[in-house]
Amino acid sequence: MQLDNYQISYPKIYTGTDISKIIISDEMPNLKDFFLVNNKPSYRRLFVTDATVASLECMKDFIQAFDDGKYNDDQLIILGSGEPYKTIESVLTIAKTAVDADFTRNDCFVGIGGGVICDLTAFAASIFKRGISVELAPTTLLAMVDASIGGKTGCDFDNYKNMIGTFHPAKTIYYFTPFIQFLAENQYNSGLAEAFKTGLIYDEELYDLFKNESEKILSRNKEILLKIIEKCVKAKSEIVEKDFMEKNIRSNLNLGHTFAHALESIAGLGVITHGAAVAWGIGRAATISLKKDYCMESFVNEIFTILKLYNWETEAIP
């Protein structure tokens, strides 16, 4: 019996884009003018947001521009808000909207919202017609400092967080930092936790900001927030460029997340904010590190002091 062996070589490609352009503005434009009037690309766009973001005053003109979900060739879909809607059903709802509107592979999905909307929109873009472009406009601090950067997409499944997903980076990410002023306190605090994690791992100056400037940070000082966002974007961008598929050093960004995801799943997805869970997870990781002699006790005590400044849970059993 003769067996013929064949080998097929494939280029290493990632759907989405090979470069993400990040635009940071400390001013809030009229979003109708910005996206619909002054920005008229040759391709069609499916805008995706959630009910909470759609109800914001700064979104009013943009939302009202759509007649039954349509503005010229563009479409708008408004999903439910929060972690309970981070499901495969929401992903399929986005895809079905695109199918029903005859979107092509040359078109684009645009997510305007927090981490859930960014993840869902990018995931839907990655699987629609085997991958089309996506743009993101994160509206929460957590999405600005973490979720929108680096191409991770996904949804929860069977009570497991982010169990299904892809790598599909956005070609453009728009940061309008005034969105942060609309956040509920727990959502703002959630984003701070991810930013603190970044400072703890990669940026001593950012770490010191959290240690020494808690009053300004908690009062949402605009200059401090812009500095925090820029530092987080820079740090994560550098890591993602070196390890896009999370084969090694990118996994460092998961500090606190093993504990956090376990806590979120046990409590029920959406009951505890992701950032609150991450902050608690950082405390657990620091405690274990001390027990294994990976760090000094004085450093662990300092971490716990900072966690308490922002009212993050520090007890072993929250």
Known catalytic residue at 246: yes
**168 & 239 share domain:** no
In a domain, 12, yes or no: no
Give the whole-angstrom CA distance, residue 288 versus residue 282: 10
Known catalytic residue at 215: no
Contacts of 249 (CB under 8 A, 6+ apart): 239, 242, 243
Structure confidence by residue, pLDDT tens digits, 97-150: 999 999 999 999 999 999 999 999 999 999 999 999 999 999 999 999 999 999
Helix residue spans in 39-103 (DSSP H): 51-54, 60-64, 88-100
Q: In this structure, what CATH number is given to the domain that contains residue 108?
A: 3.40.50.1970
Q: How far is CA 263 from CA 71, 241, 253, 269, 272, in A?
A: 42, 30, 18, 9, 8
**205 & 153 share domain:** no
**165 & 188 share domain:** no
Domain boundary among 137, 165, 180: 180
pLDDT of amino acid 180:
97
pLDDT greater than 90 at residue 8: no
pLDDT of amino acid 11:
64
Known catalytic residue at 292: no
CA angle 218, 287, 210 (to 5 degrees): 20
Choose, from 12, 130, 247, 292, the residue flagged as catalytic. Answer: 130
Instruction: Output the pTM of the full model.
Output: 0.93
Choose, from 152, 168, 231, 284, the residue flagged as catalytic. Answer: 152
Averaged pLDDT, 49-74? 97
Structure confidence by residue, pLDDT tens digits, 80-97: 999 999 999 999 999 999
Q: Concatenated DSSP letters for 157-194?
A: ETTEEEEE--B---SEEEEEGGGGGGS-HHHHHHHHHH
Per-residue pLDDT band at 3 (split at 50, 70, 90): low
Q: Judge whether 140 and 193 are in contact, CB under 8 Å.
A: no
**88 & 128 share domain:** yes
Known catalytic residue at 105: no
5 or 148, which is more confident: 148
Known catalytic residue at 168: no
pLDDT of amino acid 96:
98
Choose, from 32, 161, 168, 274, the residue flagged as catalytic. Answer: 274
Domain boundary among 154, 180, 206: 180
**217 & 150 share domain:** no
Task: For the chain, give the mean pLDDT.
Answer: 94
Known catalytic residue at 189: no
Choose, from 250, 252, 284, 291, the residue flagged as catalytic. Answer: 250
Choose, from 83, 135, 194, 264, the residue flagged as catalytic. Answer: 194
Choose, from 227, 254, 302, 313, the residue flagged as catalytic. Answer: 254
pLDDT greater than 60 at residue 2: no
Q: Judge whether 98 and 69 are in contact, CB under 8 Å.
A: no
Domain with 224 in it: 184-309
Structure confidence by residue, pLDDT tens digits, 151-206: 999 999 998 999 999 999 999 999 999 999 999 999 999 999 999 999 999 999 99
Averaged pLDDT, 205-218? 98
Structure confidence by residue, pLDDT tens digits, 243-275: 998 999 999 999 999 999 999 999 999 999 999
* Three-class SS state of 62: helix
Known catalytic residue at 234: no
Q: How far is CA 273 from CA 131, 175, 261, 277, in A?
A: 30, 21, 11, 6
Choose, from 231, 257, 264, 284, the residue flagged as catalytic. Answer: 257
Averaged pLDDT, 230-238? 94
pLDDT greater than 70 at residue 296: yes
Report the number of distinct structural domains present in the chain: 2
Known catalytic residue at 130: yes
Known catalytic residue at 12: no
pLDDT of amino acid 171:
94
